[in-house]
Structure 1
Amino acid sequence: MKILYIIILTCLLIPATYSQDDKSQVLILGTSHLDNIEGFEVSMLDKVIAKLDSFNFDIIGIEKMSGELLNDIKSRNDHAFDGITKGGFGVRYLEIADTIRINRQVTFLDAEKFIQELLSKEKLDSKDHKQLIFNYLAITDLPSAVLQYAMIEDKSTFTTEFEKYLAGILEREMTSKNEYYSLAMQLAIKEKLNRLDPIDNFQDESLLFKYYPNFMEDFKANAELFSGINELPVFQKVNELTESSIKSGDFYNLYSFLNSTEYKNGDFNAQWKIWLETDFKSGSDKARYYLWEMRNLNIAANILNLVARNPNKKILIIIGASHTGFLEKYLMQVENIELLKFE
């Protein structure tokens, strides 16, 4: 017993040292929401993807909520969260998942287990990709299902009416011009990755309206305080770079700016710090800021969950550029994590 005590004490007294190989590396890539940009084409990201490909990432996380969280929120039956479960953040994922689980008689946990078994194989064939599609859909992971669909060269393997119905959904998703499919999926195919991990948590606005149902009235009553935000230099520069990127057919300079210190500081001062300088009588302005911090803390926790499950790996997180400075602020405080930079 005395020997064991000495061993434990010795271990505690040895200073922690980490080699470069021990560290988990994380790059938080800030992005514009590409589906909002008129004239955007996937080819405009070629140089951005080539740059990201040079890092050789092992994991790619995207701005989506996990199936566990979506199903948890749905099970609460709290109408304050209808914007998630009945709106764009979650409704289609949940509906497709319910359809799959009924049609294929599979539970959420069964699907998760089957995914892990398939991903443990050294090489996947078309049948494996097809099974991954069904099981990813069963846990609401539509982006990963689309990634698997893109890897199947012979789409004629979808033979039944139900399979053809799913293939139609996947085809439409695959041609969507957004960060999931124009950026994350294209890179995942290059890196031979088999999933796009969800890392977001969209509960902040639902909680804001639950706690402060009159928030919009507060905001409209103070609208003049926010009227000039879009004219600030940081956002004018984003607009100019977006226009020039469309004309040149290359989004590299836009992404360089969105991931610069200049943008992160300017964005924070323009659209987040302002909530701490206003004075709504209800306090909903401060709540807006605190819940935004909460959302980013939840995202950081989800990233650390990824790190815990994938130690010593390179992880790319693709997320709206307004999140980047917050996430880096939290993650730089975590021992043994190295934050990578796009530039």
Structure 2
Amino acid sequence: MAKWLMVALASALVCSTAVQAQVPLPRLDRQVPGVRARVLVLGTVHLGQLPEPVAADALDPLLDRLAAYKPDVITIEAISGQRCEMMRHYPTLYDADSLGHFCSTPDDARVATGLDVPSAVARVQDTLQHWPAKPAPAQRRHLAALFMAAGDRTSALVQWLQLPPSDRHAGEGLDDALVKQLRALAADHDENVLIAARLAARLGLQRVYPVDDHTGDAFPVDDVKAYAAALEGAWGTSRKSTGPVREHEKALIDAGDLLGLYRYINRTGVLRTVIEGDFGAALRDTSPQHYGQLYVAGWETRNLRMVASVREAFVERPGARVLSIVGSEHKPWFDGLLGQMQDVDVMNVEQVLGGPAK
């Protein structure tokens, strides 16, 4: 009798756990006093990968609308210096080619400042805690040098762009090599420069927050060619639906209508078509190695870790207005995961981009 009672209790616990696992995360923030954070996720094309460079002024209408939203925190799809430093300590997990693609090498900044990445990160944090309302040019040059040593080049550029042209020179930790790097970065054509850094400087922000993460999708694949072929085959089955989307994107780019482009790629229906044609198709892959499922699992792990970093960027700032700039296919995951956070409202990007700037 006692034995069966124990079995019955165990079964009840299993059933209870199964039911509890399906209970959605409760909204604990209803009728809670205080300010709420607002997060706007802007899906972007990777501008630096376009066949022809984008003119900075073509993005001004987009920046006008983003500036009207008035973000005080901006996150970007880049890997932080801390994460890159960690990955360098695990060469068997993260190969040098991948690191070279995703991570900048702060060797010149280490020589110029005498700081390694951990020391530079600590100095950045301390400097920002005591940052004056009206910093002198020398202070901006010094903070730019610290950001370079910390492996955060885009934030260094935010400081550089807020300097008057006559003050954009070596000094306070910036040597000629770092000045050359900053000038080259300012001429870059990717969205982290053309949108994030320019907008942050325009709004008087001191930095941006890199939130990308490739520690979860760097899994070993037994046959890289077979893996690529399986995914290409899966994606080929959806080109009938995704082809017109890509053609319309190209037409908007060719016409120089970049605000129209961003309105289009952030539409709910467009995003649904694109992710169904990418990840939905991958999940239907029939390879015995389950390559498509591996691909989607890595993608979702990456998004989970990226969203955690977005949340961390304003963990000490209740009521923050956050702009997260990320490749458009990340947006549905970002919106869904951020929408589960307490005291956080996910903003409608179509409304922000669709109305006139104020």
TM-score normalised by L of structure 1? 0.86
Return the offset for 1:246. Answer: 3.0
Task: Give, in angstroms, the shift of residue 311 of structure 1.
Answer: 2.1
Change beyond 3 A, Cα 1:16–1:60: closer
- The separation in 2 between residues aligned to 1:135 and 1:320, in whole angstroms, is 28
1:110 pairs with 2:123:
no
Structure 1 residue ranges without an equivalent (≥5): 1-14
Measure the CA separation in 2 of the matches of 1:334 and 1:169. Answer: 38
Give, in angstroms, the shift of residue 98 of structure 1.
2.9
TM superposition score normalised by structure 2: 0.82
Q: 1:205 to 1:294 in 2, by over 3 A?
A: closer
Q: Secondary structure at the match of 2:102?
A: coil
- Residues 293-317 of structure 1 show CA distances to partners (whole Å, capped at 9, x for unaligned) of 0000011111111121322100101
Tell me: CA distance 1:292–1:78, structure 2 relative to 1, closer, same or farther (3 Å): same
Whichever residue aligns with residue 17 of structure 1, its letter is: R
Measured after TM superposition, the shift of residue 318 of structure 1 is: 0.6
Equivalent residue number for residue 69 of structure 2:
55
Aligned pair 1:340/2:347, yes or no? yes
What SS does the aligned partner of 1:169 have? helix
Query: 1:214 maps to which residue?
Result: 223
CA distance in 2, matches of 1:136, 1:199: 15
Residue in 2 aligned with 1:43? 57
Query: One-letter code of the match for 1:306?
Result: A
Structure-2 change in CA distance of 1:16 and 1:61 (3 Å): closer
Residue 47 of structure 2 aligns to which amino acid in structure 1? Answer: L
Greater Cα offset, 277-286 or 192-201: 277-286
1:126 is matched by which residue type in structure 2?
Answer: P
2:79 to 39, 62, 65: 65
- Kindly indicate whether the alpha-carbon contact (under 8 Å) linking 2:75 and 2:208 is maintained by their aligned counterparts in 1: yes
1:206-252 per-residue CA deviation (whole Å, 9 max, x = no partner) reads 22xx1x231431442674443254x43444234323323432x3311
| Other-structure match for 1:200 | 212
Task: Please give the residue correspondences for 1:84-123 in structure 2 after superposition, counting only pairs within 5 Å.
Answer: 84-85=98-99, 87-90=100-103, 93=104, 95=105, 97-119=106-128, 120-123=131-134
* Comparing 186-195 and 76-85, the one that deviates more: 76-85
Whole-angstrom CA distance in 1 between matches of 2:29 and 2:233: 53
Partner of 1:26: 39
Determine helix, strand or coil for the equivalent of 1:54: helix
Deviation at 1:108, TM superposition (A): 3.1
2:146 aligned with 1:138, yes or no? Answer: no
How far, CA to CA, are the matches of 2:340 and 2:172 in structure 1?
Answer: 52
Q: Please give the per-residue CA displacement for 1:143-163, whole angstroms capped at 9, x wherever unaligned.
A: 111121122222464169971
Deviation string, structure 1 residues 132-190 (Cα, Å, up to 9, x no partner): 11110111001111121122222464169971221111111101111011111121122
Q: How many residues in Structure 1 have an aligned counterpart in Structure 2?
A: 319
SS of alignment partner, residue 316 of structure 1: strand
The runs of 5 or more residues in structure 2 that have no matched partner are 1-27, 351-358
Which residue number corresponds to residue 172 of structure 1? 184
SS of the equivalent of 1:51 reads helix
Residues 80 and 141 of structure 1: CA distance in aligned 2, closer, same or farther (over 3 Å): closer
Q: Distance in 2 between matches of 1:323 and 1:78?
A: 28
